[in-house]
Homo-oligomer: A and B are copies of this chain.
Amino acid sequence: MATVSRRSEMTKATSSITIPVLLLGCGGVGRHLLHHIVACRDLHSKMGLVLRVVGVSDSRSLLLVDDVATGGFEDALLTEIFRLKSSSGRCQLVKGAEVTTNIIKVAGLLGKLTGLSVVDCTASPETVHMLTKVIDFGCCIILANKKPLTCTIEDYDSLISNIRRIRFESTVGAGLPIIASITRVLGSGDPIYRIIGSLSGTLGYVMSEIEDGKLLSEVVLAAKSLGYTEPDPRDDLSGLDVARKALILARLLGWRIDMDDIQVESLYPKELGPNSMSTEDFLRTGILSLDRGIQERANAASSRSKVLRYVCVIEGSRCQVGLQELPKDSPLGRLRGSDNVVEIYSRCYNKSPMVIQGAGAGNDTTAAGVLADIVDLQDLFH
């Protein structure tokens, strides 16, 4: 077993650092993360780093190593974690209401003793208070879940009161280094005055297909059949998920705003929404009524040598999510397919922005971003 090291002075030689990890959420991202952690054992060992999974939970159960302070999982046990089963007396399974209580108990124990990284790969709006307690115990938290960052500004303030112990790269653009890059720019005193980005792979794809003359309904139905959209594509078309990402970026810039302060343009009107119409009806008839309007806007943009993109804009006092006409030869205008792109304008990146582009979704990529965040926290575990 690797030892938990503790740095007593700056000159101490590099020794192995152990980061105990407690994973919340066992969906696509959580499972990929566990796979990555196992696959990276040798790599991390060469870096003097040991990630030790001490527990995994889903919404109903928590599987813990019996003695979380000293024990560790072998690879074989990870197989059991995937099934959330108690294995041969070395793990304990907690269910129901006791899950949260036990997570806080483990955080209280390990936070003081060795430090703990609690990773939120759920999609739950319920974890924020637990995470705030966990960070107060001296633990680190890593989020793939956007919800704890898009809560009320008061809860947000409590959560991020110790900003060095929290990482959330994968909440915007999956593994793309958007948060990390903005954090670097801000920390260097280079003020960011404008962020504009295409932060939905689905809407990016839809808009570039419409640019090629296809109909919205045609593109959305094709994308849905390929599994590129949410089960109800209105969850993409509403822009709400982009708005959450915009809020995360705006708050990162220091804006004290809530979801309600963001102007969000939905691509469908209320009367075609989930409260008025089933998913099936929307896909069969409702969506067809949207084709003409958006095609006209795309054509109008094209007649001005521009293209229509679904973007978030954070600038001045405006945090806005919706369709924009953009120059064809800008990074956003040139965007094809489902890549995410963010343009960041600051004193140093003025005439020409800092641009970060690439795949902004997918379980593998998102989990890789989470793992990079955990690795980035290692200096706190000296």
Enumerate chain A interface residues (CB-CB to B < 8 A): 9-12, 14, 36, 39-40, 43, 47, 111-115, 137-139, 162-164, 169, 175-177, 180-181, 184-185, 187-190, 329, 331, 334, 336-337, 339, 347-349, 352-359, 362, 364-365, 368-369, 371-372, 375-376, 378-380, 382
Is the CB–CB distance between B9 and A372 below 8 Å?
no
Is the CB–CB distance between B365 and A348 below 8 Å?
yes
Is the CB–CB distance between B175 and A372 below 8 Å?
no
Is the CB–CB distance between B357 and A355 below 8 Å?
yes
| Minimum CB–CB distance for A177 against chain B, Å | 4
Is the CB–CB distance between A349 and B358 below 8 Å?
yes
| Minimum CB–CB distance for A37 against chain B, Å | 9
User: In the complex this chain forms, how many copies of it are found?
Assistant: 2
Other-chain contact of A180, B43, B180, B349, B365 (Cβ < 8 Å)? B180
Chain B residues whose CB sits within 8 angstroms of the CB of A382 once the complex forms: 379-380, 382
Is the CB–CB distance between B334 and A188 below 8 Å?
no
**Given A188-B368, A375-B187, is A112 in contact with B352 using a C-beta cutoff of 8 Å?**
no
Is the CB–CB distance between B47 and A187 below 8 Å?
yes
**Given A112-B9, A176-B354, is A369 in contact with B188 using a C-beta cutoff of 8 Å?**
yes
Chain B residues whose CB sits within 8 angstroms of the CB of A43 once the complex forms: 189
Is the CB–CB distance between A358 and B364 below 8 Å?
no
Determine the residue in chain B with the shortest Cβ distance to A33.
Answer: B188
Is the CB–CB distance between B188 and A11 below 8 Å?
no
Is the CB–CB distance between B40 and A164 below 8 Å?
no
Is the CB–CB distance between B380 and A14 below 8 Å?
no
Is the CB–CB distance between A354 and B355 below 8 Å?
no
**Given A11-B137, A177-B181, is A164 in contact with B353 using a C-beta cutoff of 8 Å?**
no
Is the CB–CB distance between B177 and A184 below 8 Å?
yes
Is the CB–CB distance between B368 and A112 below 8 Å?
no
Chain B residues whose CB sits within 8 angstroms of the CB of A362 once the complex forms: 348
Determine the residue in chain B with the shortest Cβ distance to A356.
Answer: B356
Is the CB–CB distance between A189 and B10 below 8 Å?
no
Is the CB–CB distance between A36 and B189 below 8 Å?
yes
| Minimum CB–CB distance for A269 against chain B, Å | 33
| Minimum CB–CB distance for A87 against chain B, Å | 25
Is the CB–CB distance between B372 and A188 below 8 Å?
yes
Q: For the complex, what is the distance from the CA of A358 to the CA of B353, rounded to whole Å?
A: 6
Chain B residues whose CB sits within 8 angstroms of the CB of A139 once the complex forms: 10
Is the CB–CB distance between A114 and B14 below 8 Å?
no
Is the CB–CB distance between B365 and A359 below 8 Å?
no
Q: For the complex, what is the distance from the CA of A139 to the CA of B10, rounded to whole Å?
A: 7
Most chain B Cβ neighbours within 10 Å, of A12, A162, A371, A372: A372
Q: For the complex, what is the distance from the CA of A84 to the CA of B189, rounded to whole Å?
A: 25
Other-chain contact of A348, B11, B163, B368 (Cβ < 8 Å)? B368
Chain B residues whose CB sits within 8 angstroms of the CB of A11 once the complex forms: 111-112, 137-138
Chain B residues whose CB sits within 8 angstroms of the CB of A162 once the complex forms: 14
Chain B residues whose CB sits within 8 angstroms of the CB of A337 once the complex forms: 352
Determine the residue in chain B with the shortest Cβ distance to A115.
Answer: B10
Q: For the complex, what is the distance from the CA of A188 to the CA of B355, rounded to whole Å?
A: 22
Determine the residue in chain B with the shortest Cβ distance to A116.
Answer: B10
Q: Provide a sorted-by-A list of 26 A–B residue pairs whose CB atoms are within 8 angstroms.
A: A9-B138, A10-B112, A10-B114, A11-B138, A12-B138, A47-B163, A47-B187, A175-B184, A177-B184, A184-B372, A184-B375, A185-B372, A188-B369, A188-B372, A189-B368, A349-B358, A349-B359, A352-B359, A355-B355, A355-B356, A355-B357, A356-B356, A379-B379, A379-B380, A379-B382, A380-B382
